[in-house]
Amino acid sequence: MADTSATIPEKPARETLAEKLASLPTSPGVYRFSNAAGTVIYVGKARNLRNRVRSYFNSQGRQPGKTAVLVSHIADLNVIITSSEVEALILENNLIKELKPRYNVNLKDDKSYPYVVITNERFPRIFLTRQVRRDGSQYFGPYTEASQLRLILDLIGSIFPVRSCKYKLTEEAVAAGKYRVCLDYHIHKCKGPCEGLQSEEEYQAMIREIVTLLKGKTSALVRDLTAEMQQKAAELKFEEAATLKAQIEGLKRYAERQKVVSNEPVDRDVFAIATGEEDACGVIFRIREGKLIGSRHTYLTNTGNTPLPNLLASFLEHYYLETPDLIPQEIFLQAELPEEELEALRQLLASRQTGQRQVRFTVPRIGEKAQLIAMCLDNAEHHLHEFMVQKRLRGEMSRKSPALESLKQVLHLDKLPERIECFDNSHFQGTDYVSSMVTFVLGKPKKSDYRKFKLKSFEGSDDYAAMQEAVTRRYSGTLAEELPMPDLVLIDGGKGQVNVAWKALQELGIDVPVAGLAKRLEEIFVPNERDPYNLPKTSPALKLLQQLRDEAHRFAITYHRKLRSDRTIRTELTGIKGVGEKSAEKLLSRFGSVETVAKASIEELSEVTGRKTAESIYRYFRQQDADQP
């Protein structure tokens, strides 16, 4: 690629712009418009840069309102020449994400949808994730319906003996006997690759079958397994044949639950967009072998009066750039795409296919296929209505809560911090280390989303290690699936704590703003900046951060005191001969406190622990009374 962004600073901006327009190449590429302040306000792509860019200036009288406003603010332009339209499309997508130009249509999902990931390992694991990383793993999704996702994972778990452990099963580790089989092996949920009881070839063959299932090819998988079952039966391997038969029956039950939307066993994606004044919502139906296996919706903001075909093209480009492995045979569209956009999409999809024929783009007008478009559009209109209601409510709430707007400006956030999560640590001389996380939504506590962590990855007093563990545990594993991502992570601490939390998020591939509030001078720290922010004591943003910090501290202290109290009580009771952990818990549950246990009679104690232990407890506390002066 070549960047032709040189400027001639001694000449007026408009003269420079005119010269650039006169010397534009006819190559494919990406163009960037900047305003007088040098800020990029629009990024676009073109098959022919000269024709596309000049069209903005040659027909200003016929341009729609938003485009006319854009042109009035253009003071400079830069172009990057690419070798193909596909390269231009990908570069445009990346630049829009990086620069966030004011006049580009913004595409965003309403939440972080989960994917099913098959890890890039000798013996891959399969689990849910909301973070898609470029690590060679295979990702399937996103899934918008929790019931469908649970059904798929339950099916995989019931049919295929996939390992659930996190061991790194390298050839050297397995050969050295580093690991031992777990319960899953004994209940036939795993075949023991950790001890070399299952070969990599056999395991990978099973993974290929799971990939076929996740792609919606249940019929093909049933056919392959049926042929394999018949082969095993012919070889008199009846136990293996019976296992295959159980897998086939499970697959058939799964296929029966999928909604049939077409009599043709064809793979299709169906796209439709509902539009409003400044916002729109696009929906895609994923149809595999005539069955609807999933749907997804994406919101488009800052649309203005952008024509529907252009919005539709942006939606398709965004979707197939984000999900490159889900290329169907046919794509149904609500409207015809502009020729230039359609050709770029064809090239993109062709570059992602392996030996398949060219994808067909169709705009159905009548019959069953048109009904699919209508159903897709109904869903888009429903989601757009919900989005507009939420947008109005958020606007009303932000007007009622100046603290959120102030916080957004102070920390230079891209969006209003509607959901803030705050972390604090607590310990006593390095013992009973705990961390708390409290959640505020629209400036108010949401106690159902509070979480507490008993920290265990380190010994002694280490606030940095404590913060790293708490943040890592919150934004990975099960908790990452249970709770939505915040708009801001707040740390009770200074520069060091903030940088540790930020690095932990970066290692997880999560891009969320982080800030810290230090107690001593109430200074606000942000990652990788030396100097803190100092706000007036009357600032609503500072008061909100203090409220979050104080609540996190209260929650952490409460949990820490409870752990210390429980440990102290159990230690005193378990120090008595014959009283173990379970007996101590039963006694506390029955009597409520150690003091009440000490005053209980032998008969009362016997009801909980038995006569012999009751006598031991009774003697212990009577002896303590006798020893007191």
User: Distance between CA 560 and CA 557 in Å, rounded?
Assistant: 5
Q: Report the pLDDT averaged over residues 526-547.
A: 86
Chain position carrying tokens 């099916």: 155
Closest Cα partner for 99 from 47, 50, 49, 44?
44
Domains 2-104 and 575-627 share a fold: no
For residue 146, is pLDDT > 70?
no
- Produce one character per residue of 227-237: b if its CB has 16 or more CB atoms within 10 Å, e if not: ebbeebeeeee
Distance CA 312, CA 340 (A): 13
Q: What is the mean pLDDT of residues 283-301?
A: 82
The DSSP string of 50-69 is: HHHHHHHHH-GGGS-HHHHH
Average pLDDT on 550-573 reads 72
The predicted pLDDT at position 452 comes to 86
Handedness of CA 513, 517, 523, 529 (dihedral sign): negative
Examine residue 142 and say whether the peptide bond preceding it is cis (omega within 30 degrees of 0): yes
- 304: pLDDT confidence band, cut at 50, 70 and 90? confident
Beta bridge partners of 31: 44, 79
The alpha carbon dihedral of 51, 332, 307, 313 has a sign of negative
- Identify whether the C-beta of residue 28 lies closer than 8 Å to the C-beta of residue 344: no
Q: Which residue has the tokens 């109904």?
A: 378
Specify the pLDDT at position 272: 93
Distance in angstroms (rounded) separating the CA atoms of residues 553 and 119: 38
Share of the chain above pLDDT 70, in %: 84
What does the pLDDT read at residue 13? 47
- Greater confidence (141 vs 525) lies with 525
pLDDT digits (tens, 9 = 90+) for 10-58: 444 445 778 888 888 888 899 999 988 888 999 999 889 988 898 888 7
What's the pLDDT band for 440 if we cut at 50, 70, 90?
very high
2-104 classified as CATH 3.40.1440.10: yes
Half-sphere exposure of 224 (CA within 13 A, CB side): 13
What distance in Å separates the CA atoms of residue 186 and residue 307, rounded to the nearest whole number? 61
- What is the structure's pLDDT at 85? 84
Per DSSP, the three-state class of 41 is strand
| Mean pLDDT, range 484-509, rounded to an integer | 89
pLDDT at 9: 40
What is residue 368's predicted lDDT score, i.e. its pLDDT?
Answer: 82
Q: What is the pLDDT of residue 439?
A: 93
Instruction: State the chain's mean pLDDT as an integer.
Output: 81
How do the domains of the chain map onto residue ranges? Answer: 2-104, 121-258, 268-389, 407-563, 575-627
First to last CA, the chain: 90
pLDDT given at position 63 = 67
pTM: 0.55
pLDDT-based confidence at 156, cuts 50/70/90? confident
Quote the pLDDT of residue 629.
47
Name residue, tokens 């009303």. 396
Q: Would you place residue 212 in the very low, low, confident or very high pLDDT band (cuts 50, 70, 90)? A: confident
Interval 386-417: pLDDT, tens = 888 877 766 666 666 788 888 888 888 888 89
The average pLDDT across 502-513 equals 87
Per-residue CA distances from 48 to 45, 63, 330, 351, 470 (Å): 9, 19, 28, 20, 52
Q: Which CATH class is domain 268-389?
A: alpha beta
Which two tokens mark 416?
């209003």
Neighbours of 424 (CB within 10 A): 27
The C-alpha atoms of residue 485 and residue 65 are separated, in whole angstroms, by 36
- Do 115 and 141 form a contact (C-beta atoms < 8 A)? yes
**What pLDDT shows up at residue 133?**
73
**Token pair 């994972």 in the structure block, residue:** 153
What digits encode the pLDDT tens for the residues 100-120?
888 888 887 645 567 788 898
Mean pLDDT over residues 517-525, rounded? 84
DSSP E strands in 465-512: the ranges are: 488-491
The answer on pLDDT for 532 being more than 50 is yes
- In this structure, are residues 289 and 216 in contact, taking their beta carbons and an 8 Å threshold? yes
Residue type at 38 in one-letter notation: G
- pLDDT: which is higher, 495 or 253: 495
Question: Beta-carbon neighbour count of residue 269 at 10 Å?
Answer: 23
Tell me the pLDDT band of 60, cut-offs 50, 70 and 90.
low
pLDDT at 203 over 90: yes
Average pLDDT of span 369-395: 84
Overall fold of domain 407-563: Nucleotidyltransferase; domain 5 (3.30.420)
Q: For 335-362, what is each residue's pLDDT tens digit? A: 999 888 888 888 888 877 665 668 889 9
CB-CB neighbours of 192 under 10 Å: 17
Per CATH, the number for 575-627 is 1.10.150.20
Predicted local confidence at residue 568, as pLDDT: 57
Question: With contact defined as beta carbons under 8 Å apart, do 41 and 101 qualify?
Answer: yes
